[in-house]
Amino acid sequence: MMIFVDADACPVKTEVMRVAERHGLVVTMVSNQRMRLPVHPLLRIQVVADGLDKADDWIVDQVHPGDIVVTADIPLASRCLGKGARVIGPTGKPFDDDGIGMALALRDLNAHLRDTGEIRGGAPAFNNKDRSRFLQSLEQVIQSRKRGQ
């Protein structure tokens, strides 16, 4: 079991490393640009070519059933679920096969409404409750994977 992080705009990189260290899991942070991250024996950093979906494509190529992916990118979440990975958003919301279709549809609807000026802005600001919920979700997913579920 490995953890892959769609790292460019991920607000929970430190939290991922803290939980991964506790469980001895390798984490790969994937981004389009170099990031300042602490040196850690369980941390791998993968910088991919600049371009639309290059990081997503790399993650999908590397992920296996049983791995965990951390991303807020709904299309990436869908692709990883299709490969048997577990996927968690940075706010702690797990993506699953039952809800991914609705999440994709809502994403497309919101993009259309923003394009037409019906709504403005994006997601609410990331807060401490989100961080706490993420830590709890990641821990639950790891525990369930260790139990073979």
Q: What is the pLDDT of residue 120?
A: 73
Q: Please, which pLDDT band fits residue 134 given cuts at 50, 70 and 90? A: very high
Report the distance separating Cα 96 and Cα 67, nearest Å. 14
Assess if residue 106 is contained within a domain.
Answer: no
Total domain count, the chain:
1
Assess if residue 12 is contained within a domain.
Answer: yes
Identify the domain containing residue 142 by its residue range.
3-96+127-146
Assess if residue 112 is contained within a domain.
Answer: no
Report the distance separating Cα 111 and Cα 105, nearest Å. 10
115, pLDDT greater than 80: no
Q: Which residues of 100-130 are buried (b: 16+ CB within 10 A; e: fewer)?
A: beebeeeeeeeeeeeeeeeeeeeeeeeeeeb
The pTM assigned to this predicted structure is 0.85
Assess if residue 88 is contained within a domain.
Answer: yes
Assess if residue 114 is contained within a domain.
Answer: no
Q: Which residue has the higher pLDDT, 115 or 93?
A: 93
44-54 confidence digits (pLDDT tens): 999 998 887 89
Q: How many residues does the chain have?
A: 149
29-44 confidence digits (pLDDT tens): 999 998 888 889 999 9
Residue 89 belongs to domain with CATH number: 3.40.50
Assess if residue 113 is contained within a domain.
Answer: no
* Residues 69 and 4: beta-carbon distance below 8 Å: yes
Beta partners for 52? none
Assess if residue 109 is contained within a domain.
Answer: no
Assess if residue 24 is contained within a domain.
Answer: yes
What average pLDDT does the chain have?
88
